[in-house]
Amino acid sequence: MPSRHRLPLMAAVTAATLLSPPANAQTFTGTADPIIQRIWRLGQDSSQVEPLAQTLLDSLGPRLMGSPNMVASQNWMVKMYGSWGIDAKREEFGTWRGWRRGVSHIDLIAPRVRSLEGMMVGFSPGTKGRDVTVEPIVLPAFKDSLEFVKWLPQAKGKMVMISAPQQSCRPTTDWTANATPASAAKMAALRDSLRFTWSGNNVRGTGYSAALGGGALGLRLEEAGAAGAITFRFKDSRGGMEVFETYNKTTPTIALSCEDYGLVFRLADRKQGPKLRMNLDAQLLGEQPVSNVIATMKGSTKPNEYVMMSAHFDSWDASSGATDNGTGTLVMLEAMRILRKVLPNPQRTILVGHWAGEEEGLIGSRVYAATHPDVVNNMQGLFNQDNGTGRITRLSASGWPMAANKLLEWHDKLPKEFQEQAPFNGGGGQNTIGQAGGGSDNASFACYGAPTFGLGAAGWNYSEYTWHTDKDTYDKVVFDDLRGNATLTAMLVYLASEEPEFIKRDSTVALIMRQLANAAP
């Protein structure tokens, strides 16, 4: 564990609790269930989500699979569970390429001087402790891959700009609110035209993909002797940039902000002699063991039936991974803490899965579902959260008709405040109980036939602002909503655990779902 993580983390949580302002006392209506009442009081009046979030997001930080940060964060989580009397452990499931991020310094030194806003993308090689001066060039348009191959010698020793710039870094909302209709329409057309032209000619013309942080194109440029690649992925919000990963082995890939990418692009495109000085600290660590964290409260009367809470723990590492998916992680941590106090002997075994590798393709949850048929086949329900910090406004069920029916029954037993927050109206709007989708770890279990429930959150400009960006930090967490989400989740898990009936599977549907799961790559 790196030395910067050797602070007394659980002591820090305790201290932060004392410094945090008290939660507003709240009341609720609609249920006489004493367990529901206790969950409400613990979740609203003595919540731990703020101090937990501060330690996880500020002190430990991002959790890229294969990084030392991920291991340190998992160890902290296991210790936190242990301090509450809950058994938790890391379950290794394979290896992944390891990487440690250090400091990134990127400066424009010609034709003028400016420190640039940017960083290495994940898994990028560094500059081996040296200042490196490089010339940026723009990836031109190509008629076909043969033309690209002829051009490749020009990339030798250069940093190749492989992304389309933006005509304006102002978000669309600025243009809509302030520009004339004609000017706003012109800007929208320019953006669309540049995106399609660049994708179709500059990138696709090479015959390679530039997905995420450069993809196969970045590797081909490295093979040709390029000094590296410069990327930019626009988020239609003020100031954010998406930062993903590269597979380059020796040369760096950096991401620049919208403004600075545009600056360097224009200088290079107009042959005005731009030079960059970079000092990039990174370490490729080779294959590293990777694991999920599984927490368990053993069932008393039905220990071989399971209710599971689910949230991926990994993140991209441009910031802190706060809303993707630190908030989902904190919901499950806090819900389990509450349940340990109010339901120390649940009927069914309650599990929490904190998954690794969701960002790389649901890897941790898929491996767990495939290798734990005893859990999947005896799953009463899995509750997953993975779309930001907002209050839960949509409950969804997938897998079985009985799962949706039971969710409706549990919904009716919730306090009226939560029923109104996420009502069932039979429609397809935002505030509904509806069909669960894929795209997160619930899909790993649904494919193997387990009933799954999605906990959909209000937006808070998640997709445009924090999702996979350098702005996904502690200050973006809406703690009032997070407290409510942990409280609601604890209630649903309690109701599922104590439900007299086991959610039945239809044998025909089960066979089809099993075949689909076995056919998955």
Q: What are 68-87's pLDDT values in tens digits?
A: 999 999 999 999 999 999 99
Cβ–Cβ under 8 Å, residues 76 and 55: yes
Helix axes 327-342, 68-83, angle to 10 degrees: 20
Of residues 203 and 238, more confidence is placed in 203
3-state helix, strand, coil in the chain (%, to 5): 40, 25, 35
Written as one string, the DSSP assignment of 492-509 is: HHHHHHH-SSPPP--HHH
The yes-or-no verdict on residue 433 having pLDDT over 50 is no
The yes-or-no verdict on residue 312 having pLDDT over 90 is yes
* Length of the chain measured in residues: 521
- Please state, in angstroms and rounded to a whole number, the distance separating the CA atoms of residues 224 and 202: 17
Write down the pLDDT at residue 463.
Answer: 84
Pick the CATH number of 33-97+287-519 from 3.10.20.580, 3.40.630.10, 3.40.50.2300, 3.20.20.70: 3.40.630.10
Percentage of residues in the chain having pLDDT higher than 90: 76
The yes-or-no verdict on residue 3 having pLDDT over 60 is no
Average pLDDT for 499-518: 70
Write down the pLDDT at residue 518.
Answer: 64
Average pLDDT for 270-296: 99
Q: Tell me the residue type at 185.
A: A
- Take residue 156 and report the two structure tokens written for it: 């030798």
- Name the nearest CA neighbour of 314 among 117, 93, 34: 93
Pick the CATH number of 112-273 from 1.20.120, 3.30.70, 3.30.420, 3.50.30: 3.50.30
Write down the pLDDT at residue 512.
Answer: 55
Write the pLDDT tens digit of every residue in 163-210.
999 999 999 999 999 999 999 999 999 999 988 888 888 888 999 988
pLDDT band for position 110 (cuts 50, 70, 90):
very high
Percentage of residues in the chain having pLDDT higher than 70: 88
- Please state, in angstroms and rounded to a whole number, the distance separating the CA atoms of residues 279 and 13: 35
Write down the pLDDT at residue 27.
Answer: 61
The yes-or-no verdict on residue 300 having pLDDT over 60 is yes
pLDDT band for position 239 (cuts 50, 70, 90):
confident
Cβ–Cβ under 8 Å, residues 149 and 217: no
Q: Tell me the residue type at 405.
A: N
The yes-or-no verdict on residue 6 having pLDDT over 70 is no
Which range among 159-168, 345-354, 395-404, 495-504 shows the weakest confidence by mean pLDDT?
A: 395-404
Average pLDDT for 390-402: 88
The yes-or-no verdict on residue 9 having pLDDT over 50 is no
Q: Tell me the residue type at 163.
A: S
Give the helix/strand (H/E) hosting 74. Answer: helix 68-83
Which range among 50-59, 255-264, 503-512 shows the weakest confidence by mean pLDDT?
A: 503-512
pLDDT band for position 147 (cuts 50, 70, 90):
very high
The yes-or-no verdict on residue 516 having pLDDT over 70 is no
- Please state, in angstroms and rounded to a whole number, the distance separating the CA atoms of residues 454 and 438: 10
pLDDT band for position 400 (cuts 50, 70, 90):
confident
- Please state, in angstroms and rounded to a whole number, the distance separating the CA atoms of residues 391 and 398: 21
- In the chain, CATH 3.40.630.10 sits at 33-97+287-519
Strand partners, 234: 241
The yes-or-no verdict on residue 431 having pLDDT over 70 is no
Q: Give Cα separations from 185 to 190, 201, 221, 485, 511 (angstroms).
A: 9, 24, 36, 40, 51
Q: Tell me the residue type at 287.
A: E
- What is the 8-class DSSP label of residue 6? -
- In the chain, CATH 3.50.30 sits at 112-273
Average pLDDT for 388-412: 91
Q: Give Cα separations from 222 to 152, 168, 227, 248, 363 (angstroms).
A: 10, 30, 7, 7, 28
Report strand pairing: 452-457 vs 379-384: parallel
The yes-or-no verdict on residue 10 having pLDDT over 50 is no
- Please state, in angstroms and rounded to a whole number, the distance separating the CA atoms of residues 85 and 263: 55
Of residues 103 and 467, more confidence is placed in 103
Quote the longest CA-to-CA distance of the chain: 76
The yes-or-no verdict on residue 15 having pLDDT over 70 is no
Cβ–Cβ under 8 Å, residues 430 and 423: no
